[in-house]
Structure 1
Amino acid sequence: MIQPLGVILAGGQATRMGGGDKGLLPLGNGTILGHVIDRFAPQVGSLALNANGDPTRFADLSLPVLADGIDGLAGPLAGVLAGLDWAAEKDATHIVTAAADTPFFPCDLVPQLILAADDADVGIALAATPDGRHPTFGLWPVALRDDLRTALQSGLRKVVQWTDRHGAATATFPDDAAFFNVNTPDDLAKAKAML
């Protein structure tokens, strides 16, 4: 498999944080999103950011900003689809997604997802820990983008409902804390302590 492209999912509304872009909150010497980019960029061919609204707020990141192509805040799968459409334009075969509010995800995320998909001889793989699956961290084949578009247009919103239809593989990581995400002000304080 050719090195996949990376898509950071930042399309949520951050309601538990009071709104705005969680990824732009300060963490250490940078932002949450900066930590995500630092971990993700070395693992993929190139990076894009899935976010809705005014893309100029991310101008300093020098990343393509991909808006959802499905109306009505359709959730992470809409971000996956935006990434697959972007990857298709670049003749890529796969993308890997990561959440914009999860600054400590594994530095071997991409190779482990690829290995899991190859071992199971399937196109999709999701990250998991002993606590369960983390479906915003996944390997997605561009070949399934039309299937995903149809599913979203028919009202499907749950990631695992769609991935289970396609027999998604699982890449299991031993540390539950690796996928700690920042949803609340308390979570941000914990992230600062973890850093």
Structure 2
Amino acid sequence: MVVGGLILAGGRGERMGGEDKGLLRLDGRSYAAHLADVLCPVTSAVAISANRNADAHGQWADIVLSDNAFAEAGPLAGLVEGLRWARMRGFQGLVVTPCDTPRLPPIWAVQILEAARRRPAIPCLSDTGERRHPLHGYYPVALLGRVERYLSRGERRALELAEQLGAEWMDCSAMVEGFLNVNEPGDQARLSSEARSETV
């Protein structure tokens, strides 16, 4: 199964004081770089959905995509652009992750693809037991039209979309720490502190 990778980094980072979260750093490297390392081994090409700092993001991706359609739809706008790119490249699907979970382990992408190969016509997404993560997982390109129609109705909820698409949920409870996300400055400080403590 030939797939692409997509890092969703198109947000405005309002709760982070306008910071571009994909360019925040952990262990001296950008979040986007960490996630590109997760996606590159299992995908044929990686795209980053980013609406600013395209040159900076381009260091870690084959292409940087901007939200041309559904610009106010949040991360689902990036998903649409990613699926359009994947269709153009002839990929069957996309392995997707938001940019604000830089500790996501590489084994996650391997296991998502293993699960997706068993049922490639539906999304295969992540469930840590604590919560479901509809933007961490695999989306088939064949579902692009349904995603576009969902957004055309003014809908924006990723979890609701996943349920409408009949998503399968992969048990990610063994890697729950990899899903710790950065939404506020305190989150970034905590993540960096935990990373330092692990190296001591």
TM-score between both structures, scaled by the size of structure 2: 0.88
CA distance in 2, matches of 1:100, 1:82: 16
CA distance in 2, matches of 1:31, 1:17: 15
The one-letter amino acid paired with 1:25 is L
> Matched residue of 1:161: which SS?
helix
Distance 1:4 1:62, change over 3 A: closer
User: For structure 2, which runs of at least 5 residues remain unmatched after alignment?
Assistant: 196-200
C-alpha displacement of 1:70: 2.2
1:84 alignment counterpart: 83
Instruction: For residues 127-154 of structure 1, give each alpha carbon's deviation from its aligned partner in whole angstroms, at most 9, with x where no partner exists.
Output: 1101011111021011111111111111
Distance 1:123 1:3, change over 3 A: same
CA distance in 1, matches of 2:58, 2:128: 34
* 1:149 correspondence with 2:148: yes
> Matched residue of 2:154: which SS?
coil
CA distance in 1, matches of 2:130, 2:136: 14
2:31 alignment counterpart: 32
C-alpha displacement of 1:111: 3.0
Contact residue 4 and residue 44 of structure 1 kept, 8 A: yes
Kindly report the root-mean-square deviation, in angstroms, between the aligned alpha carbons of the 2 structures: 1.8
1:103 alignment counterpart: 102
Contact residue 36 and residue 61 of structure 2 kept, 8 A: no
Q: Which portions of structure 1, spanning 4 or more consecutive aligned residues, are displaced by more than 4 angstroms? A: 118-122
2:125 alignment counterpart: 126
User: For structure 1, which runs of at least 5 residues remain unmatched after alignment?
Assistant: none
CA distance in 2, matches of 1:4, 1:180: 25
The one-letter amino acid paired with 2:38 is R
C-alpha displacement of 1:172: 1.1
1:192 alignment counterpart: 192
C-alpha displacement of 1:102: 0.7
2:198 alignment counterpart: none
Q: How many residues align?
A: 194
Residue identity over aligned pairs, in percent, reads: 34
> Matched residue of 1:175: which SS?
helix
Moved more, 134-143 or 104-113: 104-113
2:59 alignment counterpart: 60
Instruction: For residues 36-59 of structure 1, give each alpha carbon's deviation from its aligned partner in whole angstroms, at most 9, with x where no partner exists.
Output: 122221122210100113523434
